Amino acid sequence: ISILPYVIPAIILVSGLVQLYGNSPIPKIVILILALVSTTMPIAYQSLINNYISKDFRSLLEQAKILGDSSVTAFFKIILPNISVSVLVSTLLIFTTAFGDYVLTNLLLGGNYETLKIYMYRLMSTNGSATSVLTVVYFVFLVLMSVLLIWIENKGRERDK
């Protein structure tokens, strides 16, 4: 299940979604959001499973119950703080992946909604200089997001020591 979004090309996914939901009353933006969730799920899964493997949450939960906490309280006091870095990292990775998706967005929505990639493509045909500036700003944004991810990960590792 983790590799299915990488095995199924976006063009085939969009073709199937258009045939399946083409005449339905569901708005296409909802279909796009659900498709992006399903294609970015492996990113969240891998980020969270790596954190679960590195710590023994079952024994932590049992110890919290022995000390008098309920399962819900133990989850919020122990489990959630331990996985917060992984949740934040996976959220940022999903955001950057969905932010840069062109094929799925353009083929599913067409010209109804204009994302950054569609805007860059349209701008490229009219003004090359503006497209270059927008591309540089986009790369700077991605570099800042990467630096933020690295900083958060390092801070989480320092906290775990």
- The rounded distance, in Å, linking the Cα atoms of 1 and 60 is 29
> 158: which DSSP letter?
H
- The rounded distance, in Å, linking the Cα atoms of 14 and 37 is 14
Question: What is the band of 161 on the pLDDT scale with cuts at 50, 70, 90?
Answer: low
Look at the pTM and tell me if it is higher than 0.75: no
- The rounded distance, in Å, linking the Cα atoms of 38 and 5 is 8
pLDDT of amino acid 79: 86
The pLDDT tens digits for 8-33 are 777 787 888 888 887 888 888 888 88
| CB neighbour list of residue 96: distance below 8 Å, 6 or more residues apart | 142, 145
Instruction: Write phi, then psi, for 113 (nearest 5 degrees).
Output: -125, 140
